Chains A and B, each alone.
Chain A
């Protein structure tokens, strides 16, 4: 069997294993799906009145839910990072990983299987969020092609966040460590254009908000879903951040995983 096909086959096996784990760890999986929905409800029904009113000057014709939904979609992707990091970290402490290391399998399949599993989990979670947002009055105006582009962007960003989650799971050493490293992405989501426009932020914070990975991704997604103009700058920044994070995450994770497991 060629290297590529056996790499694919081993990754598929590890993906099936990861899906089984998700189903056996149902409480963890369900809470991962529920938290973003709660955040969406919280920001719309609790803070939404105040924030939406403040947003009026920026986007007069928008209902706040239309502004908020794309932001929460990307927040959902970001919070998936913690689940990935935790799952991987706990998995690595199991003896079975040692067994995998002594088997003639595609080495990175332990990681790629988890990444694919996380991708599926996150996309299900995103689907749920879109459903709930639609029920709450979210009215995207995207054409079918724009929807495909939007889903492509979400998948690309999920891949980026997930590989970074794998890195956090590897370098975090303990579940608590892995979890606290993943907080970075929750923090980035809050300091982006997810909930409010960066225009309303003080200059320094605004500068940070505009160039960190979440804002360009959210702005591009918002443009695709709502048919509003997207700056070319946002698209380039969004794609560059995604590809950059995927490459860094993949090679970093592989390097850490391949190191001698010194105990």
Chain B
């Protein structure tokens, strides 16, 4: 079953086109990642699909309901954890969860039970009676997600859930997300990190300047990226020349005495290159492996780097 289906979704702020005809198809109980740099239109997409903004054109069905005609039914089925923390800063962690329970019309006892369970699951028991002002970034993000879960949403939007988190908090968040999907929840997440999309997503859509430039499984996308290479460093120009001749490929830098050989970053291909050089008795001073990152994805798919930071969210 499809949880999100959009056709030709458009949005403009003034005469600036932020989303240009977006088609998405997100299956139930899967993680779908929208990948792109700042200003690509990720947050705008989430805002439209979560009923915060109205689209200027196109159609969308979310959790089986028409987005434009039945926003109330859509809201009842979704949960949103935004890029900017959506917690009440004057209430304690526990009060925040109980507020959500009240707004979902749970009775008092059920609300308390849910709050206690979520505090334990998100490792917030000790912080329960403190206000979020005293929380770390990771704790705030966990409270934020816990609040989203009080209403048992079938579809959750996570807008850059790990941006700004330390590695430990990031891995904890990833595990929480995987557990949710195992329980049948569908997740649409936005991210700037290829690694995150790669780790979590069943499908990835790459968004650039409001356009979808690619869509597929992580493996399908990575196969399209030629960014992975081995960088070989040599002691002198003769070594470099001999290696370039022996391998018959690669980008050569005569000043740095390096040779970049494209590979799929597998151990086997690395060994093949080194064996080839060994056969020719060419000494290598240093080796480094470069795996594809978001910059490579972008360069490959759009022929421009991600360095331009858009001002539009």
Contacts and interface: CB of A to CB of B under 8 A. Distances in A.
Interface in B67-84: 72-73, 75-76, 78-80, 82, 84
B102 A13 contact: yes
A102 B79 CA distance: 7
A100 B151 CA distance: 12
B293 interface: no
A105 B313 contact: no
B313 A263 contact: yes
B104 to A, nearest CB: 8
A111 to B, nearest CB: 15
B242 interface: no
Contact of B105 (A6, A260, A261): A6
Interface residues of A, number: 26
B75 A103 contact: yes
B50 A24 contact: no
Contacts of B84: 95, 98
A13 B91 CA distance: 13
Contacts of A100: 103
Interface string B95-110: 1000100111100000
Interface in A78-131: 94-96, 98-105
Interface in A212-263: 260-263
Nearest to A23: B90
B76 to A, nearest CB: 4
A17 interface: yes
Contact of B13 (A17, A95, A99, A262): A262
Given A95-B82, A261-B52, A102 B75 contact: yes
B144 to A, nearest CB: 8
Nearest to B89: A94
Given A1-B105, A20-B95, A263-B313, A104 B72 contact: yes
Contacts of A98: 52, 80, 82, 84, 86
A31 interface: no
Interface string A1-35: 10000100110010011001100110000000000
Contacts of A261: 52-53
A9 B105 contact: yes
A99 B82 contact: yes
Contacts of B87: 95-96
A8 to B, nearest CB: 11
B80 A99 contact: yes
B306 interface: no
Interface of B: 13, 50-54, 72-73, 75-76, 78-80, 82, 84-91, 95, 99, 102-105, 131, 147-148, 151, 313
- A-B interface, 7 closest residue pairs, ranked by CB to CB distance from nearest: A99-B86, A104-B76, A95-B86, A104-B75, A13-B102, A102-B80, A24-B90
